[in-house]
Structures are given as structure tokens and as C-alpha cells.
């Protein structure tokens, strides 16, 4: 009687034409979630069941050919890579100890109980029992896309589970590598001596080279296709190097995600491209391929054939549940947290497939048809249970999690981005996506204002503005963010911006901090920005970005004394926190000793996982010393104030000049917070740039200083 392996090798599928094969696969990816979604079956399970239906052991429509092996391998790597890429590294640092504790539990309990059940109940050999115990101990984040859809990827339970996944996967595959090496005829003492050396060299190379290589490439090239190909090349290079070191490629993909994590902001176009391609093609291909391997007909072989499979399935699922229950009890998590933890760590797919394929390899010869069928049934049942448990836990936690109102800041209006230069469109749009309020619809708006002088030049400027807005919309759409646009003509540029702020109730404005020209006063940011500041008390951010925001590693924030008394204090602080959270970079706050407790308290209550430092700055003039701490991978945020308000200082008058002289090498944002009252200054509508009729008040000392230094 032919074995399952022989059937897999000799089956002839009904559909062999590549075009029709790809069409059927796309049809499954499209229709399986839609049809089974009506039955409330998770789409992950639907794809596995669809693979069983069309595979060799079902209707035999498709064979698991090289395309499924290739795309499935990419899908396995993609799952591990995205799991690491979507990690909040601040949360990992915060919950890393708990994650390692859970990893030790969810590895040790299944490994020990699994080895005992295989050795004493099923009477497998010692090494075969070790391989099966590694299958029980390891798990794959198959249901992680469900967590992402509920927006729970940074929840503490999810972070702990992902850290535990890294631990169990590494430990299990390390043991498998040792067993495989012991079975190889060419292994020697030198092989075992070199193994830890190769592993250490691999880890050191990835940690030291990949971040520098990635940051340099992403700074130099902003084309979305090139960035995507580059990131994927790093992932597969890491996987290939891991295999050379004697590890599994899964660990290499996960390692690549960890080191690239800080280079790809969560809401960036690059992140959207990575998730889209993986979730639309590679991961579904992998899940369909898993279903095609499962031989349901083996269940009809009688009690003698069914008993070992039931033992394997029960051991694999129950041991993971025991570990999750113990961790939830010790960590103080409720029932929903336990179900989510169990769902994420219960699915045996990628690691189990890798281990069983190693076990049935003729050079190893530790597994046969019984263990193969049992493992395939374990994959099916564990994925079914994992999808249901993850969906139940994630849905319940999402409903009971923190309400959006607690994190909206002091004002809920649109974020208005004013475009004037072509080379700044991408950076300004990416930054606006980072700081916008994600809890309100249509929170992003682009504006271009052209001077209307009734000439052909005015029409040309209007067309140029439309091109800028189209480019901004493409950048926002690539990040899956909707941006409204307005291209208007005005006899006064600042007036056009101010009218837009009022008409569309914009809460904050981002403008380009242009290079200074000869004859510009030291106190001026340019006539347009100056008059927008005079004509509105909404938050204004004047930005000069020299590198894409995703390549920033640190944000330095300087705050003047008494800034906590301004009405917009917590609003701009929330914007800075959103930027740090999305970029996963370090925040350094330099402020007066009386102001720092307010900042630290807000950070601990609202953003406890953010990496932040708090340094007292007794005198405002000390902020100039920060020029020695800044570089291309740093952004300097200077919080200032409009004249006449409580945190305003006369030293603010020459801020634009000092920024130009001392900080030309770094990205800079001058931030003017929301402030009380209505502006009293008027704007002259007859000047193209809106030169104000009134000027900001200055002291005699300040006037004399400017007179003699200009």
C-alpha cells in the first residue's frame, strides 16, 4: 500500500497550467474569507480549509508544486518578519522580562510533557520524542494578522506573546539543529565548536551592519519600490546567513524585523507596502499550502491510526493552554488576556513544518508517516483553535481597552499642511501623518496658495501648486491615509492660509521653514509664516527636514520656562509623543526643573513605553549647547511662544537666525503652541506675502541690539 509520501510525490492534479493555477489561488484568497466570514470562521482557517479542499487529499485540483513551496517559504518568513517589524520596541523593553518568563513557561511545559507523552505513551525513540517535543514547544504567529486588524499589536499581552515566540522558536530550532547535526555522518567535534562561533558572528553582523546599511539607503533613495525591494533583500539575506550559521531561516527573518524595526515607522508608506504585499499574496499562499499537505483521509484508518494523532493534538494544544493559564494567573491578566495569549502561542505551523520536514529527511530518518500525519493534524487543529481563541481575546480586549478620547489632546481639528516647495512635500506629509489625530476622520488636509496677480505667472503658480498637492496625496495614500486638498488663489498668501484655517477649523498647521535670504531680519521666519503666527493662535510648526522622518533615531525637545502654563502645552506634547511612538525613537526633553515634572507625569500616564530622557535646563540660553548633540539622524524641536504670552522671552526674537547659523546640519521644527485669545494684528491684503501692518512688541534693549547687529 503506498505511503502518504509516495502519494504526495505521484499525485497528478487536474489543473496544471500556471495561468489557471494562479487564477484558482487568487480566487481562493478572495472568496474563502468572504464565504466563511458569514459563518464567523476566521479567514486564516478558511484558507487552510480551502487548501485541504483543492489539494491532493481533497478534490485534487492543484498539486503542491514548486510555486507553493517558494511562495509558502516567503510567507513563513513574512509572518515572522512582520511580527518583529510591528513590535513596539519600547514595549518590548518594558515587558521583555515578562515575555522571557512566558517564553520559558510555554517552552518548558510543552517540551517536558510532550517528550513524556511521545516516549512513554506512543513509545517513540528518544531523539524522535525530542523532535516532537520541539514541535509542541515551538509555535508560529499564524493568527497575528487578526491582532493587527483589531489594532492590538502593541498591547502588553501581544508583546509578551511575541517575545515568547522569539524565545521558543529560537530554543526549539536550536535543539533541532543539534539533533540534525548529530544525525549527519560528517559531524565532528569541530562542527560543534564552530556552531556557537558562527551563531555569534551572524548575530553581531546583523546587529551592526543592517541598521547602518538600512538607514543610509532609506535616506538616499525615497522611491517606494526600491525601498520595498531593499527591505525584502535584507530579510532574505538575514535568513540565508542564519542557515549558513546552522540556524533556521525563520530566526533570520525575525532577526531582520527586529533590527529594521526602528527604520520603518508604523504609519509610513513603506510599512503599508510591506503589510499589503504579505497579507495579500505571500501569507495566503503559505496558509493554502499548509492545508494542501494535510491528509484527512488518514483519519479513516481506524482507532490504531487515530490514537497517536489524538495524543499529539491533545498534547500540543493542552500544554500551551496550561502555560498560558499559569502566565495569566501570575501576571494578573484577566480571562480575555489569557485567551489572547493562548491563541497567539498555540498555532503550530511554520516551526512544526520545518521540524517535521527535517525529521522525514532520509539523512535524519527520525520520523515516518505516522508522525507526519499527526503533525499535519496538529497544524490543522491548532490553527483552528488559535484563530478562534485569538479572535475572541482580541475582540474582547479591544472593546475594554483605553477609550480614544483619553488620547486626543486638547483640540480635535484637522492637521493642515501648507506646501510651497517640491523637495519638501514628502517629508512634510510623512511628518503630518505621524502627528495627526488618528481617531477622527479626514484629519489631514493639504493646502497650496498661489498669488493671484491676474497674469500667466499666477496661472502657472496655480498649476504648480496642484502638482504639489497631487504628490502629497500619493504619499498619504501610500500610507493608507486619506488627505483632502485645497488649491487656492489669493492676493495675500498668509491671508489665504488664515482663511483656510478658519473655514476648515484646522487645529494645527505645518509649514516649510525656508532658507534665509540676504536682508532677512534675525527675528523673521519669512513674511508668510510671520503673518500666519500673528493672524492665528492655533499651533504652528515650521519644519525644515533634511532626512525622511523614518531615519530619525532621536528627537531633542527644548522647552522654555513656564511653558506648562500655556493652553496648548499638552497638545504639542501629545504631538511629540505620537512622533516618538511611531518612529520608535528616543525623546530627550530639555526644560526648566519646574516644567519637567509635568512632562514626566504625562509621559508616564499616557505613553509609559516611550523611551525618554529628562534633563533640566535652568537658563534658556543653554539650548545652544545642543548643537554638539545633533546630527542627520536627529530632529531638534524648539518650543517657543508668541509675543505677549506667559512663556515668551525676548531671546526668542533671534531664534530663526540662530537656527540658521548653528543648526543647519540637522532637522529642525520651531513649534508655536495653541494660545488663548484672538489675534489682534491685522494683515495687509495688498502685499503678496501679507506684510503685517502692525509689528510684534519689542523692548528698547532688544531694539538696540538688533539695530547694532544687523
Give pLDDT tens digits for 433-465.
999 887 777 889 999 998 877 666 777 888 899
Mean pLDDT of the chain: 81
Q: What is the pLDDT of residue 276?
A: 86
Confidence of residue 431 (pLDDT cuts 50, 70, 90): very high
- At 267 the three-state DSSP class reads coil
If one compares 489 and 439, the residue with the highest pLDDT of the two is 489
Q: What is the pLDDT of residue 575?
A: 92
Confidence of residue 682 (pLDDT cuts 50, 70, 90): very low
Confidence of residue 691 (pLDDT cuts 50, 70, 90): very low
Confidence of residue 89 (pLDDT cuts 50, 70, 90): low
Q: What is the pLDDT of residue 42?
A: 60
If one compares 653 and 300, the residue with the highest pLDDT of the two is 653
Grid cell locating 561: 520656562
**Does 710 have pLDDT greater than 50?**
no
Rounded CA gap, 589 and 578, in Å?
15
Looking at residue 683, the DSSP 8-state letter turns out to be B
- Give me the residue label for grid cell 498619504: 476
Least confident stretch, 10-14, 27-31, 125-129, 422-426: 10-14
Q: What are the C-alpha distances in Å from 439 to residues 94, 377, 407, 677?
A: 25, 42, 9, 27
Where is 668: in which H helix or E strand? strand 667-672
Rounded CA gap, 357 and 28, in Å?
26
Residues 6+ apart with CB under 8 A from 385: 317, 343, 346, 347
Helix axes 269-277, 224-244, angle to 10 degrees: 60
Rounded CA gap, 153 and 134, in Å?
26
Judge whether 106 and 168 are in contact, CB under 8 Å: yes
Where is 290: in which H helix or E strand? helix 283-293
Judge whether 133 and 121 are in contact, CB under 8 Å: no
**Does 689 have pLDDT greater than 60?**
no
Max mean pLDDT range (229-238, 352-361, 397-406, 431-440): 229-238
Grid cell locating 370: 505516522
**Does 656 have pLDDT greater than 80?**
yes
Q: What is the pLDDT of residue 210?
A: 92
Which of 325, 361, 331 has its CA nearest to residue 345? 325
Instruction: Enumerate the β-bridge partners of residue 589.
Output: 557, 614
**Does 707 have pLDDT greater than 60?**
no
Do the strands 414-418 and 506-512 form a parallel or antiparallel pair, or are they unpaired? parallel
Judge whether 528 and 494 are in contact, CB under 8 Å: yes
Q: What is the pLDDT of residue 322?
A: 94
Rounded CA gap, 351 and 77, in Å?
11
What is the per-residue pLDDT across 174-220, written as a single tens digit (0 to 9) for each? 788 778 767 666 666 677 778 888 888 999 999 999 999 988 898 88
Q: What is the pLDDT of residue 149?
A: 61
- At 287 the three-state DSSP class reads helix
Strands (E) located in 457-552? 483-490, 506-512, 539-544
**Does 326 have pLDDT greater than 70?**
yes
**Mean predicted confidence (pLDDT) in 78-85:** 79
What is the per-residue pLDDT across 606-623, written as a single tens digit (0 to 9) for each? 888 888 999 999 888 888
Rounded CA gap, 227 and 656, in Å?
34
Please state the φ and ψ torsions of residue 188, each to the nearest 5 degrees. Answer: -145, 180
Q: What is the pLDDT of residue 206?
A: 92
- At 582 the three-state DSSP class reads helix
What is the per-residue pLDDT across 539-560, written as a single tens digit (0 to 9) for each? 999 999 888 888 888 999 999 9
- Give me the residue label for grid cell 556552531: 195
Rounded CA gap, 2 and 491, in Å?
85
**pTM as predicted:** 0.66
Grid cell locating 302: 481506524
Q: What is the pLDDT of residue 685?
A: 35
Rounded CA gap, 456 and 29, in Å?
53
Q: What is the pLDDT of residue 302?
A: 58
**Does 236 have pLDDT greater than 90?**
yes
Rounded CA gap, 29 and 24, in Å?
9
Q: What is the pLDDT of residue 590?
A: 94
**Mean predicted confidence (pLDDT) in 330-343:** 88
Rounded CA gap, 28 and 36, in Å?
11
**Does 5 have pLDDT greater than 50?**
no
Please state the φ and ψ torsions of residue 615, each to the nearest 5 degrees. Answer: -125, 125
Q: What is the pLDDT of residue 667?
A: 92
Least confident stretch, 169-173, 182-186, 331-335: 182-186
Judge whether 151 and 87 are in contact, CB under 8 Å: no
Residues across the chain: 710
Please state the φ and ψ torsions of residue 634, each to the nearest 5 degrees. Answer: -125, 145
Looking at residue 279, the DSSP 8-state letter turns out to be I
Do the strands 554-558 and 444-451 form a parallel or antiparallel pair, or are they unpaired? unpaired
Residue 222: is it exposed, middle or buried by C-beta count within 10 angstroms (0-12/13-18/19+)? middle
**Does 402 have pLDDT greater than 50?**
no
Looking at residue 513, the DSSP 8-state letter turns out to be -
Judge whether 487 and 469 are in contact, CB under 8 Å: yes
Beta-carbon neighbour count of residue 524 at 10 Å? 14
Rounded CA gap, 378 and 331, in Å?
28
Strands (E) located in 423-528? 444-451, 483-490, 506-512
Q: What percent of the chain has pLDDT over 90?
A: 22
Q: What is the pLDDT of residue 695?
A: 37
Looking at residue 681, the DSSP 8-state letter turns out to be -
Q: What is the pLDDT of residue 305?
A: 67
Q: Could you tell me the domains of the chain?
A: 66-399 (1.20.1530.20), 409-709 (3.40.50.12370)
**Does 680 have pLDDT greater than 80?**
no
Where is 593: in which H helix or E strand? none
Instruction: Enumerate the β-bridge partners of residue 308.
Output: none
Residues 6+ apart with CB under 8 A from 408: 437, 439, 440
Q: What is the pLDDT of residue 148?
A: 67
Q: Measured at the alpha carbon of residue 676, what is the angle toward residues 675 and 677, in degrees to the nearest 5? A: 125
Q: What is the pLDDT of residue 404?
A: 37
- Give me the residue label for grid cell 509689528: 695
Q: What is the pLDDT of residue 446?
A: 93
If one compares 497 and 93, the residue with the highest pLDDT of the two is 497
Q: What is the pLDDT of residue 432?
A: 92
**Mean predicted confidence (pLDDT) in 276-280:** 86
Q: What are the C-alpha distances in Å from 518 to residues 258, 302, 658, 662?
A: 47, 91, 15, 17
What is the per-residue pLDDT across 661-672, written as a single tens digit (0 to 9) for each? 889 889 999 999
Which of 293, 275, 389 has its CA nearest to residue 350? 293
Do the strands 444-451 and 483-490 form a parallel or antiparallel pair, or are they unpaired? parallel
Amino acid at each position: 500500500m503506498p505511503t502518504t509520501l509516495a502519494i504526495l510525490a505521484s499525485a497528478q492534479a487536474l489543473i496544471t497550467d500556471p495561468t489557471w493555477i494562479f487564477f484558482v489561488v487568487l480566487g481562493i484568497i478572495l472568496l474563502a474569507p468572504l464565504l466563511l466570514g458569514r459563518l464567523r470562521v476566521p479567514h486564516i482557517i478558511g484558507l487552510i480549509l480551502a487548501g485541504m479542499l483543492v489539494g491532493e487529499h481533497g478534490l485534487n485540483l492543484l498539486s503542491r508544486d514548486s510555486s507553493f513551496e517558494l511562495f509558502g517559504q516567503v510567507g513563513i518568513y513574512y509572518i515572522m518578519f512582520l511580527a518583529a517589524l510591528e513590535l513596539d520596541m519600547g514595549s518590548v523593553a518594558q515587558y521583555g522580562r515578562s515575555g522571557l518568563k512566558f517564553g520559558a513557561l510555554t517552552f518548558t511545559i510543552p517540551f517536558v510533557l510532550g517528550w513524556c507523552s511521545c516516549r512513554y505513551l506512543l513509545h517513540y525513540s528518544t531523539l524522535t520524542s525530542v523532535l516532537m517535543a520541539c514541535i509542541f514547544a515551538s509555535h508560529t504567529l499564524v493568527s497575528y494578522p487578526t491582532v493587527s486588524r483589531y489594532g492590538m499589536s502593541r498591547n502588553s499581552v501581544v508583546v509578551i506573546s511575541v517575545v515568547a515566540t522569539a524565545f521558543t522558536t529560537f530554543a526549539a530550532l536550536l535543539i533541532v539543529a543539534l539533533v540534525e547535526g548529530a544525525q549527519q555522518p560528517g559531524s565532528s567535534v569541530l562542527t560543534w565548536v564552530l556552531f556557537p562561533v558562527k551563531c555569534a558572528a551572524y548575530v553581531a553582523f546583523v546587529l551592526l551592519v543592517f541598521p547602518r546599511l538600512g538607514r543610509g539607503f532609506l535616506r538616499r533613495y525615497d522611491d517606494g519600490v526600491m525601498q520595498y525591494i531593499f527591505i525584502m533583500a535584507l530579510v532574505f539575506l538575514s535568513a540565508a546567513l542564519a542557515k549558513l550559521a546552522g540556524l533556521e531561516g525563520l530566526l533570520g527573518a525575525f532577526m531582520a524585523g527586529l533590527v529594521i524595526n526602528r527604520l520603518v515607522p508604523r504609519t509610513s508608506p513603506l510599512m503599508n507596502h510591506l503589510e499589503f504585499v504579505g497579507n495579500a499574496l505571500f501569507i495566503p499562499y503559505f496558509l493554502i499550502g499548509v492545508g494542501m499537505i494535510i491528509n484527512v483521509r488518514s483519519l479513516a484508518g481506524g482507532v490504531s491510526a487515530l490514537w497517536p494523532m489524538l495524543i499529539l493534538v491533545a498534547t500540543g494544544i493542552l500544554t500551551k493552554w496550561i502555560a498560558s493559564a499559569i502566565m495569566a494567573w501570575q501576571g494578573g491578566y484577566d480571562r480575555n488576556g489569557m485567551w489572547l495569549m493562548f491563541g497567539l502561542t498555540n498555532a503550530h505551523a511554520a516551526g512544526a513544518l520545518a521540524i517535521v520536514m527535517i525529521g522525514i529527511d532520509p539523512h535524519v530518518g527520525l520520523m515516518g508517516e505516522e508522525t507526519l500525519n499527526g503533525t499535519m493534524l496538529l497544524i490543522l487543529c491548532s490553527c483552528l483553535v488559535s484563530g478562534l481563541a485569538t479572535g475572541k481575546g482580541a475582540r474582547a480586549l479591544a472593546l475594554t481597552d483605553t477609550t480614544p478620547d483619553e488620547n486626543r489632546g486638547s483640540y480635535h481639528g484637522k492637521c493642515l499642511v501648507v506646501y510651497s516647495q517640491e523637495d519638501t512635500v514628502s517629508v512634510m506629509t510623512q511628518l503630518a501623518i505621524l502627528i495627526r489625530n488618528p481617531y477622527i476622520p479626514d484629519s489631514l488636509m493639504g493646502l497650496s496658495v498661489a498669488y493671484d496677480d491676474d497674469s500667466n505667472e499666477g496661472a502657472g503658480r496655480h498649476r504648480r501648486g496642484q502638482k504639489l498637492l497631487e504628490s502629497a496625496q500619493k504619499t498619504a495614500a501610500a500610507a493608507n491615509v486619506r488627505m483632502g486638498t485645497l488649491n487656492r488663489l489669493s492676493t495675500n498668501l498668509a491671508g489665504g492660509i488664515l482663511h483656510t484655517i478658519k473655514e476648515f477649523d484646522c487645529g494645527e498647521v505645518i509649514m516649510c521653514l525656508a532658507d534665509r535670504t540676504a536682508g532677512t531680519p534675525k527675528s523673521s521666519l519669512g513674511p508668510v509664516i510671520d503673518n500666519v503666527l500673528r493672524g492665528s493662535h492655533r499651533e504652528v510648526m515650521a519644519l525644515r527636514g533634511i532626512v525622511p522622518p523614518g531615519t530619525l533615531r532621536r528627537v531633542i525637545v527644548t522647552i522654555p520656562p513656564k511653558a506648562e502654563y500655556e493652553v496648548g502645552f499638552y497638545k504639542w506634547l501629545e504631538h511629540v509623543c505620537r512622533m516618538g511612538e511611531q518612529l520608535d525613537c528616543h525623546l530627550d526633553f530639555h526644560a526648566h526643573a519646574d516644567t519637567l515634572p509635568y512632562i514626566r507625569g504625562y509621559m508616564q500616564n499616557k505613553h509609559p513605553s516611550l523611551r525618554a530622557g529628562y534633563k533640566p535646563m535652568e537658563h534658556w540660553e543653554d539650548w545652544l549647547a545642543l548643537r554638539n548633540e545633533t546630527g542627520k539622524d536627529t530632529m531638534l524641536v524648539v518650543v517657543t511662544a508668541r509675543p505677549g504670552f506667559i512663556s515668551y522671552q525676548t531671546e526668542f526674537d533671534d531664534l530663526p537666525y540662530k537656527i540658521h547659523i548653528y543648526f543647519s546640519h540637522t532637522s529642525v521644527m520651531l513649534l508655536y503652541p495653541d494660545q488663548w485669545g484672538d489675534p489682534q494684528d491685522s494683515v495687509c491684503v495688498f502685499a503678496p506675502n501679507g506684510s503685517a501692518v502692525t509689528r510684534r512688541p519689542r523692548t528698547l534693549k532688544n531694539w538696540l541690539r538688533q539695530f547694532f547687529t544687523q
